Structure 1
Amino acid sequence: MARWTLTWIIMLFQGFGECLKCFQCDNFMNPACGVNFKSYQYPPEDCPGSQYKCGLQRQHPKGDYIGIIRACYPLGSLGLEDESDSCQEVQHELHNTTFLFCLCSEDYCNIASRTSPSSVILHVIVIAISFGVVTLGR
Protein backbone atom coordinates (compact mmCIF):
# COMPACT_ATOMS: atom_id res chain seq x y z
CA MET A 1 0.00 0.00 0.00
CA ALA A 2 2.79 2.43 0.90
CA ARG A 3 4.53 1.68 -2.40
CA TRP A 4 1.39 2.64 -4.36
CA THR A 5 0.93 5.83 -2.32
CA LEU A 6 4.54 6.86 -2.95
CA THR A 7 4.20 6.06 -6.67
CA TRP A 8 1.11 8.23 -7.07
CA ILE A 9 2.64 11.10 -5.08
CA ILE A 10 5.75 11.04 -7.30
CA MET A 11 3.64 10.95 -10.47
CA LEU A 12 1.34 13.72 -9.24
CA PHE A 13 4.08 16.13 -8.24
CA GLN A 14 6.76 15.29 -10.81
CA GLY A 15 7.91 18.64 -12.10
CA PHE A 16 5.50 20.61 -9.87
CA GLY A 17 6.74 24.14 -9.27
CA GLU A 18 9.85 23.76 -11.38
CA CYS A 19 10.90 25.75 -14.41
CA LEU A 20 11.58 24.16 -17.76
CA LYS A 21 15.18 22.96 -18.08
CA CYS A 22 16.92 23.59 -21.40
CA PHE A 23 20.41 23.34 -22.79
CA GLN A 24 21.82 26.83 -23.43
CA CYS A 25 24.84 27.22 -25.68
CA ASP A 26 25.95 27.99 -29.23
CA ASN A 27 28.64 26.46 -31.38
CA PHE A 28 30.03 29.85 -32.41
CA MET A 29 31.45 30.11 -28.87
CA ASN A 30 32.03 26.38 -28.32
CA PRO A 31 32.06 23.70 -31.06
CA ALA A 32 30.84 21.06 -28.54
CA CYS A 33 27.39 22.67 -28.86
CA GLY A 34 27.26 21.90 -32.58
CA VAL A 35 25.96 19.09 -34.75
CA ASN A 36 27.71 16.43 -32.63
CA PHE A 37 26.33 17.88 -29.39
CA LYS A 38 28.21 16.91 -26.24
CA SER A 39 25.44 17.45 -23.69
CA TYR A 40 27.66 16.36 -20.77
CA GLN A 41 29.56 19.66 -21.20
CA TYR A 42 26.42 21.75 -20.69
CA PRO A 43 24.32 21.23 -17.58
CA PRO A 44 20.72 22.17 -18.40
CA GLU A 45 19.64 25.52 -17.02
CA ASP A 46 16.25 26.62 -15.70
CA CYS A 47 14.32 28.98 -17.94
CA PRO A 48 13.47 32.19 -16.10
CA GLY A 49 9.70 31.63 -16.00
CA SER A 50 6.71 29.59 -17.07
CA GLN A 51 6.11 31.38 -20.39
CA TYR A 52 9.23 29.90 -22.04
CA LYS A 53 10.04 27.02 -24.35
CA CYS A 54 13.30 25.30 -25.16
CA GLY A 55 14.55 26.09 -28.62
CA LEU A 56 17.08 24.82 -31.08
CA GLN A 57 18.12 26.97 -34.02
CA ARG A 58 20.04 25.21 -36.80
CA GLN A 59 21.44 27.31 -39.62
CA HIS A 60 21.73 25.77 -43.05
CA PRO A 61 25.35 24.90 -43.93
CA LYS A 62 27.66 27.68 -45.07
CA GLY A 63 30.68 25.80 -46.28
CA ASP A 64 31.63 23.40 -43.49
CA TYR A 65 29.94 25.47 -40.77
CA ILE A 66 26.43 24.82 -39.43
CA GLY A 67 25.45 27.39 -36.81
CA ILE A 68 23.53 25.98 -33.84
CA ILE A 69 21.99 27.77 -30.86
CA ARG A 70 20.23 26.07 -27.94
CA ALA A 71 18.36 28.32 -25.48
CA CYS A 72 15.20 29.22 -23.55
CA TYR A 73 12.92 31.48 -25.57
CA PRO A 74 10.09 33.60 -24.12
CA LEU A 75 6.82 32.95 -25.94
CA GLY A 76 5.83 35.79 -28.26
CA SER A 77 9.36 37.15 -28.59
CA LEU A 78 10.38 35.43 -31.81
CA GLY A 79 7.82 36.73 -34.26
CA LEU A 80 6.87 33.18 -35.26
CA GLU A 81 3.38 32.38 -36.50
CA ASP A 82 3.51 28.93 -34.89
CA GLU A 83 4.96 28.53 -31.38
CA SER A 84 3.75 24.95 -30.90
CA ASP A 85 6.16 22.10 -30.16
CA SER A 86 7.43 21.72 -33.71
CA CYS A 87 10.13 22.70 -36.19
CA GLN A 88 9.81 25.25 -38.96
CA GLU A 89 11.95 26.99 -41.55
CA VAL A 90 12.57 30.66 -40.72
CA GLN A 91 13.98 33.35 -43.01
CA HIS A 92 16.15 35.96 -41.28
CA GLU A 93 16.06 38.87 -43.71
CA LEU A 94 18.59 41.06 -41.89
CA HIS A 95 21.32 38.42 -42.18
CA ASN A 96 19.99 36.94 -45.44
CA THR A 97 19.92 33.40 -44.06
CA THR A 98 17.41 30.61 -43.50
CA PHE A 99 17.44 28.26 -40.53
CA LEU A 100 15.44 25.47 -38.93
CA PHE A 101 13.91 26.58 -35.66
CA CYS A 102 12.48 23.98 -33.25
CA LEU A 103 10.51 24.71 -30.08
CA CYS A 104 9.64 22.18 -27.39
CA SER A 105 8.26 22.18 -23.87
CA GLU A 106 9.79 19.13 -22.13
CA ASP A 107 12.90 19.25 -19.95
CA TYR A 108 16.11 18.74 -21.99
CA CYS A 109 14.18 18.54 -25.27
CA ASN A 110 16.47 20.87 -27.23
CA ILE A 111 19.24 18.27 -27.28
CA ALA A 112 18.32 17.43 -30.92
CA SER A 113 16.17 18.78 -33.75
CA ARG A 114 13.05 17.03 -32.54
CA THR A 115 11.00 16.87 -29.35
CA SER A 116 11.67 14.20 -26.72
CA PRO A 117 9.07 12.56 -24.46
CA SER A 118 11.30 12.50 -21.34
CA SER A 119 8.45 12.58 -18.82
CA VAL A 120 6.90 9.46 -20.37
CA ILE A 121 10.14 7.55 -19.77
CA LEU A 122 10.22 8.71 -16.13
CA HIS A 123 6.63 7.57 -15.59
CA VAL A 124 7.33 4.14 -17.11
CA ILE A 125 10.30 3.70 -14.75
CA VAL A 126 8.21 4.74 -11.71
CA ILE A 127 5.43 2.30 -12.66
CA ALA A 128 7.95 -0.50 -13.27
CA ILE A 129 9.43 0.08 -9.80
CA SER A 130 5.97 0.10 -8.19
CA PHE A 131 5.08 -3.27 -9.78
CA GLY A 132 8.41 -4.74 -8.70
CA VAL A 133 9.58 -5.22 -12.30
CA VAL A 134 12.66 -3.16 -11.51
CA THR A 135 14.29 -3.22 -8.10
CA LEU A 136 16.74 -0.70 -6.75
CA GLY A 137 19.62 -1.96 -4.65
CA ARG A 138 18.19 -5.37 -3.81
Structure 2
Amino acid sequence: MIDHVYISVTDIEKSLNFYLAALAPLGWRAFGKYDSAAGPEGVPDLYGIGDENYMSGAAVGSSIWLRQRHPGETGLYLGIVCDANEQVDAAYAAAMKAGGIDEGAPADRTYFAAGYYAANVADFDGNRLEFVHKSWNRKPRI
Protein backbone atom coordinates (compact mmCIF):
# COMPACT_ATOMS: atom_id res chain seq x y z
CA MET A 1 0.00 0.00 0.00
CA ILE A 2 1.18 3.52 -0.72
CA ASP A 3 1.51 5.58 2.46
CA HIS A 4 2.42 8.96 1.02
CA VAL A 5 3.68 10.78 -2.06
CA TYR A 6 5.65 14.03 -2.25
CA ILE A 7 4.68 16.17 -5.22
CA SER A 8 7.10 18.97 -6.12
CA VAL A 9 5.18 22.02 -7.35
CA THR A 10 6.12 25.48 -8.59
CA ASP A 11 3.33 27.34 -6.72
CA ILE A 12 2.34 25.91 -3.32
CA GLU A 13 -0.84 27.96 -2.81
CA LYS A 14 -2.17 27.41 -6.33
CA SER A 15 -1.37 23.69 -6.19
CA LEU A 16 -2.82 23.26 -2.71
CA ASN A 17 -6.08 24.83 -3.90
CA PHE A 18 -6.11 22.58 -6.96
CA TYR A 19 -5.50 19.33 -5.06
CA LEU A 20 -7.99 20.22 -2.33
CA ALA A 21 -10.72 20.97 -4.89
CA ALA A 22 -9.95 17.88 -7.00
CA LEU A 23 -9.82 15.49 -4.03
CA ALA A 24 -12.64 16.94 -1.89
CA PRO A 25 -15.30 14.70 -3.48
CA LEU A 26 -13.18 11.72 -2.38
CA GLY A 27 -13.05 12.88 1.24
CA TRP A 28 -9.49 14.25 1.18
CA ARG A 29 -8.67 17.44 3.10
CA ALA A 30 -5.74 19.55 4.26
CA PHE A 31 -4.36 18.73 7.67
CA GLY A 32 -1.42 21.05 8.12
CA LYS A 33 2.09 22.08 7.33
CA TYR A 34 5.36 20.46 8.35
CA ASP A 35 7.90 23.19 9.09
CA SER A 36 11.36 22.19 7.86
CA ALA A 37 12.95 24.00 10.81
CA ALA A 38 11.66 21.15 13.02
CA GLY A 39 13.67 18.43 11.28
CA PRO A 40 17.07 17.59 9.87
CA GLU A 41 18.74 19.41 7.00
CA GLY A 42 17.29 18.44 3.64
CA VAL A 43 13.70 17.85 4.78
CA PRO A 44 11.66 20.61 3.09
CA ASP A 45 8.53 22.45 4.20
CA LEU A 46 5.61 20.13 3.43
CA TYR A 47 1.88 20.78 3.03
CA GLY A 48 -0.29 17.75 3.83
CA ILE A 49 -3.54 16.49 2.31
CA GLY A 50 -5.01 13.22 3.57
CA ASP A 51 -7.79 10.77 2.75
CA GLU A 52 -10.56 9.92 5.22
CA ASN A 53 -8.70 6.96 6.73
CA TYR A 54 -5.51 8.97 7.16
CA MET A 55 -7.45 11.80 8.82
CA SER A 56 -9.53 9.62 11.17
CA GLY A 57 -7.01 6.91 11.98
CA ALA A 58 -9.77 4.34 11.43
CA ALA A 59 -7.52 2.41 9.04
CA VAL A 60 -4.22 2.79 7.19
CA GLY A 61 -4.65 5.80 4.94
CA SER A 62 -2.79 7.74 2.29
CA SER A 63 -1.47 11.28 2.10
CA ILE A 64 -0.01 13.70 -0.40
CA TRP A 65 2.63 16.20 0.65
CA LEU A 66 3.24 19.22 -1.56
CA ARG A 67 6.73 20.71 -1.53
CA GLN A 68 8.36 23.60 -3.35
CA ARG A 69 10.08 22.45 -6.52
CA HIS A 70 13.71 23.45 -6.97
CA PRO A 71 15.14 24.39 -10.40
CA GLY A 72 16.00 21.30 -12.42
CA GLU A 73 14.33 18.95 -9.96
CA THR A 74 12.61 15.84 -11.27
CA GLY A 75 11.64 12.48 -9.92
CA LEU A 76 9.13 10.97 -7.55
CA TYR A 77 9.08 10.47 -3.78
CA LEU A 78 6.95 7.52 -2.73
CA GLY A 79 6.32 6.25 0.81
CA ILE A 80 5.55 2.53 1.08
CA VAL A 81 3.68 1.10 4.10
CA CYS A 82 5.53 -1.52 6.13
CA ASP A 83 3.74 -3.53 8.82
CA ALA A 84 6.71 -3.59 11.21
CA ASN A 85 10.13 -2.02 11.75
CA GLU A 86 11.68 -5.30 10.62
CA GLN A 87 10.04 -4.90 7.21
CA VAL A 88 11.56 -1.43 6.91
CA ASP A 89 14.97 -2.93 7.70
CA ALA A 90 14.50 -5.78 5.21
CA ALA A 91 13.28 -3.55 2.36
CA TYR A 92 16.13 -1.11 2.92
CA ALA A 93 18.71 -3.92 2.92
CA ALA A 94 17.23 -5.41 -0.26
CA ALA A 95 17.20 -2.03 -2.01
CA MET A 96 20.81 -1.37 -1.06
CA LYS A 97 21.85 -4.84 -2.25
CA ALA A 98 20.10 -4.14 -5.57
CA GLY A 99 22.21 -1.01 -6.08
CA GLY A 100 20.06 1.62 -4.40
CA ILE A 101 21.53 4.86 -3.14
CA ASP A 102 21.37 5.42 0.64
CA GLU A 103 19.36 8.47 1.63
CA GLY A 104 18.78 7.55 5.27
CA ALA A 105 19.33 4.24 7.05
CA PRO A 106 16.47 2.70 9.07
CA ALA A 107 15.79 4.75 12.20
CA ASP A 108 13.13 6.47 14.23
CA ARG A 109 12.04 9.73 12.61
CA THR A 110 10.61 11.36 15.73
CA TYR A 111 10.87 14.78 14.10
CA PHE A 112 7.79 13.66 12.10
CA ALA A 113 6.00 11.83 14.95
CA ALA A 114 6.63 9.39 17.79
CA GLY A 115 6.45 5.83 16.44
CA TYR A 116 7.52 6.85 12.90
CA TYR A 117 10.26 4.46 11.74
CA ALA A 118 11.61 4.73 8.21
CA ALA A 119 14.44 4.28 5.74
CA ASN A 120 15.10 6.15 2.52
CA VAL A 121 16.71 5.07 -0.76
CA ALA A 122 16.99 6.42 -4.29
CA ASP A 123 17.13 4.55 -7.56
CA PHE A 124 19.51 5.19 -10.47
CA ASP A 125 17.32 8.01 -11.84
CA GLY A 126 16.85 9.93 -8.59
CA ASN A 127 13.40 8.59 -7.76
CA ARG A 128 13.08 8.13 -4.01
CA LEU A 129 11.45 5.47 -1.88
CA GLU A 130 10.68 5.70 1.81
CA PHE A 131 9.89 2.45 3.61
CA VAL A 132 7.81 3.48 6.62
CA HIS A 133 6.22 1.83 9.64
CA LYS A 134 3.89 3.99 11.71
CA SER A 135 3.22 2.40 15.09
CA TRP A 136 -0.31 3.83 15.17
CA ASN A 137 -1.41 2.09 11.96
CA ARG A 138 -3.77 -0.79 12.53
CA LYS A 139 -2.35 -4.23 11.99
CA PRO A 140 -3.11 -5.76 8.59
CA ARG A 141 -6.03 -8.15 8.22
CA ILE A 142 -5.10 -11.79 7.92
TM-score by length of 2: 0.29
TM-score by length of 1: 0.30
Q: Over alpha carbons, which structure has the higher Rg?
A: 1
Give 1 or 2: higher strand fraction: 2
